[in-house]
Amino acid sequence: MVNNLLAAGFALFALFLFDADAPAMAAAALLVAAALGYAAWRQQRQPPASPGEAPAPGKPPGLRTTVSVCAILLAIDILFFGAPMLGAYAAIALILWLAPRILLAWRKPALRRHRATVALLTFGMIAADCGAYWIYDNIARKRVGEVAEALSRYRAIQGIYPEQLQQLVPEHLAAVPAAKPGFVMLNGIWYRHKAPAAPELMYVSFPPYGRRNYDVEKREWTDLD
């Protein structure tokens, strides 16, 4: 239980470090509560120790629980956030919580190996999370580029840029695409154009504030926080 509370504390501390807004705080609180409830459920399902057997103190969660939690966090990041938000919190927990616990178990080889395996699984989840984010972000940049090309074709024919992206459909685009695949939050491509300024396209790269802006005429990217 103490380990679970420490994990929750690190998650909430990470939220303040990343300056998360109220919806992100609420979502993270629900996820932390779900993780704690799942850990408690797993704990209740474990068979009781034999009468003459003493439980190992300070043992981290079992590998099955670790694999399940990592898979759930990875799925949420890929399918909902589209960025390693929970992976970032897991990285902080890996550095500030799991690594010191491995060092503290240096006189207990079995426990040390167990904790190192948990840390390795967590690191693997973080690496997969970052890899998925890289793929998603490249897909988003490609789709924004396709919309920019459609805007250029529209201007070449009409002499002006459209007031909204829907005017590109169906002559120049089959449909206005989402920035990233799946059911990712804040997944639109936003269009801004006020003549005589050049039109700009924007998508959310790392929610809630990490945005990437594309100048259609200069073909240049800028990052906005």
For the chain, 225 residues long, the average pLDDT of each consecutive 10-residue run is 47 48 52 57 55 49 81 92 91 90 89 91 95 96 96 94 94 94 88 87 91 94 88
Number of CB atoms found within 10 A of residue 137's CB: 18
Query: Positive or negative, the Cα torsion across 177, 178, 180, 183?
Result: negative
Predicted confidence at residue 65, as pLDDT, reads 85
Task: Give whole-number Cα distances, 95 to 30, 31, 103, 114, in Å.
Answer: 23, 20, 12, 16
Q: What is the pTM of this model?
A: 0.72
119 by Cβ neighbours in 10 Å (0-12 / 13-18 / 19+) ranks as: buried
